[in-house]
Structure 1
């Protein structure tokens, strides 16, 4: 199989910014030195957690896991552009980096991969991070629905208003891959969001592969961002291996949506350096040579080089962050191992606010059979 075109040399990929979006200066998009160090700290933590989770699956601790090696900059950079005191994040099953940057407890996050709970044990209402969505492209529908609700509630009184005093609309950001962009749900979501000017950012991580199918064989036209034009939505491509560029671009997109101008599509060009999931063997559809040629610069190593070159920190300080991240991963491992099974009745308790008679009948039948067993 031929290598995916346009993947080599991602470090030099130019950003294509939509003219409709606010200028960087207007939204304070320029990344500060302190933010560069924060990006590095979070990306380091995510890299260690991600690699540890793969090991935990191989050790039999987790039944399955979807790695994100190489996508740390896209995830952390975009998540830091969101205000989780008011905005809402709608992830898929591969957004460990987003969840970590948004402050989600990683033991509670891993509960889904441990198969002890659907979507995660964290409080979605408190963190403004929705449960993990395993249905491909399912998160985009939820995000657009929530965002549309913000426009409907704009100007009303109360803590859940869509428009804060003088601060614009609350914004949703939803994550999907280049493979998911081929789902019909994405068309419906983008069309609805554009028609009703829903304040939502569609963040596409184009990592080159829809499981085993390269992007050029399943994305017509070669760009997901370009599809935005068909819906009247501003679209932009950004180097997804450049954390600062991702943060700047996402800030501009959020500002556009917050101002009541409708949705934005961001396509972060990155690369999935590992398997699609721990059950996948990428060696069946790409060679190691192709992977090395197409992957581009490692986003973490690239940010480290910039920090050192700009004398924002020395190697010893960055090594200390690496050790801190390794320690965090060990603490999460201990927490995951300490998670016990959830009460089986919860499968019936958290379906409807008001359970149906049939659901109550099934719950009672399950209780009787469980007690008998």
Structure 2
């Protein structure tokens, strides 16, 4: 006879299947995106933080324009620009501690650079020279993820493992609005909430999944509302307001670090450039649509705030732009050098122990290269 079969044994009664496990009200996002710039809350923001955000935004904008130019020069195979979304990129990188992890998507190269990765190494994957281009462990930055949302379960797994080990680590995973329609998004949020994993999901809602508008992806009141169905808080924030983003992300990262579990943050922003250099955005949106967002540009918003409060003068603006130009010139110079590649690298860093097929292919390529060299020496 088992313990549960004994008379009078304790049998916990599960709640009815329809009964929610948590009160949904505290999980609901605000009706409107949270803003700081241009409001009374801006007067309470740290001036040094605002100036730091401004300098990083100016560098980020120049980084985007330079990388886009490199695609036109044939130095990059593809570049998904984050022009217009720089506030999301910079804030995501700045709120993390050195021990935390960033899980970027393919559009988040700027966040990777702001996290401390060498700009050229961050572009190496998009150049087609290397598997990733940087050491993820050295910078606590996962590889850029081209498949939609596949980085999200990885972020949850790392965060959960860190919690089990007792490590004070938070994972911040970035994804676009298109990624919220993927199964990996559902699985990641579900596991994160059940495990109360210290992970933050940052959705950059830029209006389009390539050419598909948000209205054709979801009928939800907002993407932040999706959090409630998984049992985690949803936060809605103006994705072009760098101060608001930094405040919200810092708050939810702290919440996760203190054991409060995951949060889904939706940042409402806009992709000013095409999806990539291979996309023709005029096929699905008009110039007037884009122009309507230019007055809400993240760099312009912060510059207006700082100038209006007397925290930023013309000399400071010039200094920020000159620093950005120096960065762009160095990036341009280094990217214009031909990469030194080794064909045998095709077989490196794939498996800890190469498979028989890889060993066979490696030997075949080595023989072909040797034969080619011998033929050239004759």
- Provide TM-score, normalisation by structure 2: 0.85
Separation of aligned partners in 1, 2:224 and 2:331: 36
By how many angstroms is 1:56 displaced? Answer: 1.2
The reply on whether 1:65 has 2:79 as its aligned counterpart is yes
- Tell me, what secondary structure is at the counterpart of 2:343? coil
Question: Where does residue 310 of structure 1 map in the other structure?
Answer: 309
Q: Which runs of 5+ in 1 are unaligned?
A: 1-11, 17-29, 155-161, 163-168
Cα separation, 2, equivalents of 1:352 and 1:98: 28
The DSSP-based 3-state class of the residue aligned with 1:179 is: helix
Q: Which runs of structure 2 are paired with 1:18-29 in the superposition (5 Å)?
A: none
Q: Is the 8 A contact 1:178 1:219 kept in 2?
A: no
Q: Give 1:372 shift.
A: 2.9
Structure 2 distance, partners of 1:296, 1:191, is 38
RCO higher in 1 or 2 (8 Å CA, sep ≥ 6)? Answer: 1
Distance in structure 2 (CA, Å) of the matches to 1:238 and 1:146: 26
Give yes or no for contact 2:197–2:262 (8 Å, CA) kept in 1: yes
Deviations 1:247-285 (A, max 9, x none): 000011101111112111000000011100000011001
Q: Aligned pair in 2 of structure 1 residues 64, 369: CA closer, same or farther (>3 Å)?
A: same
Task: Kindly state the Cα deviation for residue 294 of structure 1 after the two structures are TM-superposed.
Answer: 4.8
- Show the counterpart of 2:275: 276
The question of 1:132 aligning with 2:131 is answered no
Selected match of 1:114 from 103, 120, 127: 127
CA distance in 1, matches of 2:191, 2:341: 38
1:235-254 pair list within 5 angstroms: 235-254=234-253
Alpha-carbon distance change, 143 to 31 in structure 1, aligned in 2, over 3 angstroms: farther
Larger radius of gyration: 2
Q: For the Cα contact (< 8 Å) 1:271–1:295, is it kept in 2?
A: no
* Correspondence 1:74 to 2:88: yes
> What is the aligned partner in structure 2 of residue 370 from structure 1?
369
Q: Contact 2:177 / 2:214 at 8 angstroms: preserved in 1?
A: yes
The answer (yes or no) to whether the contact 1:111–1:336 under 8 Å persists in 2 is no
- What is residue 49 of structure 1 aligned with on the other side? 63
Per the TM alignment, residue 315 of structure 1 is displaced from its structure 2 partner at its CA by 1.6
**Where does residue 300 of structure 2 map in the other structure?**
301
How far off its partner does 1:214 sit?
0.8
Deviation at 1:13, TM superposition (A): 5.1
Count of matched residue positions in the alignment of Structure 1 and Structure 2:
334
Are the aligned partners of 1:42 and 1:100 in contact in 2 as well (CA < 8 Å)?
no
Once the 2 structures are TM-superposed, how far is the Cα of residue 234 of structure 1 from its aligned partner? 0.7
Q: Deviations over 1:1-59 (max 9, x none)?
A: xxxxxxxxxxx95429xxxxxxxxxxxxx741111111111111110110111111112
Task: Please report how far the alpha carbon of residue 91 of structure 1 lies from its aligned counterpart in structure 2 after TM superposition.
Answer: 0.5
1:262 aligns with 2:261: yes
* Gap regions ≥5 residues in structure 2: 1-30, 36-43, 373-378
Q: Kindly tell me: are residues 339 and 105 of structure 1, through their superposed partners in 2, closer, same or farther at Cα, counting changes over 3 Å?
A: farther
